[in-house]
């Protein structure tokens, strides 16, 4: 009986080890395929979720596949820390091994990234000197024209997802000490602008934007997407 128990333990360890080796190989193949197919400067990180992996591979379906792209440029906008989580992925094992990513289809793709404030400022009107997060909200400092007179001020803004990207809208202003009050309506005419990021890879549309210390943390979601759409 003791010998049988030892054999069972050894077999269990071998199966687990084999499963982990298989998942690493599959992750490396997917990462190499994506980097080669889309000419990425760096190979993305890939993590296939769920256990055991071999069962998922045989069935050709995976609970989650996380792809860490890093920096990504779409049009004139560059984002950092781009991560894409694919959920309920259909991927035949032969296609994964042969690096054919076009047949990998996910029920849902959720992309997250950081839009640096330097990037946001590139699309801001002239006069904007800095954009940063603060306990009071997202803060824009600069010198703004009031009836042709330049007025230094701090303006607090909101950011919302739109069909064209990230819309920045003034909601309040604090003029410099001794400076004139800036009418909010005037500010909205001159300081409302859009950062063109209407979608992230896989056709994911913006759904949420949260200011952070290093930039705007954005989330985008797409449904029924192919991994071949990942740029």
pLDDT of amino acid 11: 33
Number of domains the chain is built from: 2
pLDDT of amino acid 39: 64
Q: Contact at 8 Å (CB) between 127 and 144? A: yes
User: pLDDT tens digit string along 101-121?
Assistant: 566 788 898 999 999 999 999
Position of tokens 């934007």? 209
pLDDT of amino acid 156: 93
**181 and 105 belong to one structural domain:** no
**107 and 131 belong to one structural domain:** no
pLDDT of amino acid 98: 63
Residue 62, token pair as written in the block: 């995976």
Q: Tell me if 213 is assigned to some domain.
A: no
**11 and 91 belong to one structural domain:** yes
Q: Tell me if 91 is assigned to some domain.
A: yes
**141 and 69 belong to one structural domain:** no
**15 and 99 belong to one structural domain:** yes
pTM of the model: 0.77
pLDDT in tens, the chain (231 residues): 333 333 323 333 333 455 566 667 777 777 776 666 556 677 788 887 766 666 667 667 778 888 888 888 877 788 899 898 888 888 776 666 665 656 678 889 899 999 999 999 999 988 899 999 998 899 999 888 777 778 888 999 999 999 889 999 999 888 777 666 778 888 888 889 999 987 777 778 899 999 999 999 999 998 987 766 554
Q: Tell me if 29 is assigned to some domain.
A: yes
**95 and 164 belong to one structural domain:** no
pLDDT of amino acid 32: 75
**72 and 169 belong to one structural domain:** no
CA distances from 161 to 84, 110, 119, 166, 171 (A): 18, 15, 16, 5, 16
Asked if omega into 52 is within 30° of 0 (cis), the reply is yes
pLDDT of amino acid 64: 82
**156 and 174 belong to one structural domain:** yes
Q: Tell me if 175 is assigned to some domain.
A: yes
Dist. CA 13–CA 10, nearest whole Å: 5
**15 and 38 belong to one structural domain:** yes
Residue range of the domain that includes 51: 2-115+202-208+220-229
pLDDT of amino acid 101: 59
pLDDT of amino acid 203: 76
Q: Tell me if 100 is assigned to some domain.
A: yes
End-to-end CA distance of the chain: 57
pLDDT of amino acid 169: 94
**189 and 138 belong to one structural domain:** yes
Phi, psi dihedrals of residue 203, rounded to the nearest 5°: 75, 15
Angle CA 101–55–59, to nearest 5? 55
Dist. CA 116–CA 123, nearest whole Å: 12
């Amino acid at each position: 009986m003791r010998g049988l128990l030892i054999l069972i333990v050894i077999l269990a360890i071998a199966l687990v080890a084999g499963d982990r080796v298989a998942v690493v190989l599959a992750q490396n193949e997917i990462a190499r395929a994506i980097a080669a197919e889309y000419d990425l400067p760096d190979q993305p990180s890939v993590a296939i979720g769920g256990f055991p992996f071999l069962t998922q591979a045989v069935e050709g379906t995976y609970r989650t596949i996380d792809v860490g792209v890093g920096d990504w440029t779409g049009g004139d906008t560059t984002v950092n820390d781009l991560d894409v989580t694919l959920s309920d992925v259909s991927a035949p094992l032969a296609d994964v091994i042969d690096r054919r990513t076009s047949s990998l289809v996910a029920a849902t793709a959720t992309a997250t990234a950081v839009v640096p404030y330097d990037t946001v400022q590139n699309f801001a009107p002239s006069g904007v000197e800095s954009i940063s997060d603060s306990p009071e909200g997202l803060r824009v400092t600069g010198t703004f024209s009031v009836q042709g007179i330049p007025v230094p001020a701090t303006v607090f803004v909101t950011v919302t997802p739109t069909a064209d990207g990230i819309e920045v809208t003034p909601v309040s202003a604090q003029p410099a000490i001794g400076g004139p009050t800036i009418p909010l309506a005037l500010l909205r005419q001159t300081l409302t602008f859009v950062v063109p990021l209407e979608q992230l890879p896989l056709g994911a549309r913006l759904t949420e934007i949260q200011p952070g210390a290093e930039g705007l943390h954005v989330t985008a979601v797409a449904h029924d997407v192919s991994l071949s759409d990942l740029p």
